[in-house]
Amino acid sequence: MAALISILFGPSGSGKSTLLTKLFAEFPSKFGFSVSHTTRAPRSGEVNGTAYNFVTPAEFAAAVANNEFIEHATFSGNSYGTTVEAVRRVASSGRICILDIEIEGVKQIKKTDLNARFVFVCPPSLEVLSDRLAARNTESPESLKARLDRASDEIAYGNLASSHDIKIVNDDIDAAYAQLKDFIFKEIN
Ligand SMILES: Nc1ncnc2c1ncn2[C@@H]1O[C@H](COP(=O)(O)OP(=O)(O)OP(=O)(O)O)[C@@H](O)[C@H]1O
């Protein structure tokens, strides 16, 4: 059977990065994060090749034309994608591959024969999501609005039984993390 890939999705600010940071800190050699490509500018502290592979729109378009992506999508004016190479790199290091992707990417991966499990990370409410995103202090007012505008549709998609293998409501972070670990280890064994 092909190597298992775990996929986290959910609206911006739902807590995907926070959960994955905890997972990688607790199990540094067990899991590997497939580093996505993006045309968006790095946020302060984001390292190229670690947070994302930061590329120009022209480089991104060339990779699309070259069929290098498993999935890719444009979101708030920036392109994001996961290359076959990024996933292969994790698998070849003997680690379990984890992806954090947009809904369009989820739909694309569902059409492939990848052995993937889908984890919907859901905020407790739109109000909490809005507060957390604002407190993160990473977005311009326009970007914040664009992310919140998309959130209702993303939550509606995530709530479809066919979209996810597990839905985790990220209210208390420790409880959400315990659910994530429990699910992933059950799937591995
Ligand atoms: N359970 C929680 N309780 C309180 N704050 C939280 C919780 N989970 C995450 N946060 C905070 O909410 C903000 C958004 O979380 P995070 O950056 O992990 O979201 P994300 O889903 O990865 O977003 P994006 O898709 O934009 O990368 C962060 O500042 C994080 O510290």
- Compute the distance between CA of residue 55 and CA of residue 39 in angstroms, rounded to an integer: 5
- Rounded to the nearest whole angstrom, what is the distance from the C-alpha of residue 121 to the centroid of ligand 1? 10
Task: Determine the average pLDDT of the residues in 110-117.
Answer: 88
Site residues for ligand 1, CB cut-off 6 Å: 10, 12-18, 132, 135-136, 170, 172-173, 176
pLDDT, tens digit, for every residue of 128-149? 999 999 999 998 999 899 999 9
Residue 26, pLDDT score = 95
Task: Determine the average pLDDT of the residues in 43-66.
Answer: 95
Alpha carbon nearest to ligand 1 atom 8, residue: 15
- Rounded to the nearest whole angstrom, what is the distance from the C-alpha of residue 15 to the centroid of ligand 1? 3
Q: Which atom of ligand 1 is nearest to the CA of 172?
A: 1
Task: Determine the average pLDDT of the residues in 110-122.
Answer: 92
From 7, 17, 33, 75, mutation site for ligand 1 pocket: most ligand atoms within 8 A of C-beta: 17
ipTM above 0.85, yes or no: yes
Residue 94 has pLDDT above 80, yes or no: yes
Alpha carbon nearest to ligand 1 atom 29, residue: 136
Banded model confidence at residue 2, pLDDT cuts 50, 70, 90: low
Residue 91, pLDDT score = 81
5-188: what fold? Rossmann fold (3.40.50)
Q: Which atom of ligand 1 is nearest to the CA of 19?
A: 18
Residue 1, pLDDT score = 46
Return the domain boundaries, the chain: 5-188
Residue 127 has pLDDT above 60, yes or no: yes
Alpha carbon nearest to ligand 1 atom 11, residue: 132
- Rounded to the nearest whole angstrom, what is the distance from the C-alpha of residue 13 to the centroid of ligand 1? 5
Mean residue pLDDT across the chain = 93
Residue 174, pLDDT score = 98
* 8 A C-beta contact, residue 90 and residue 84: no
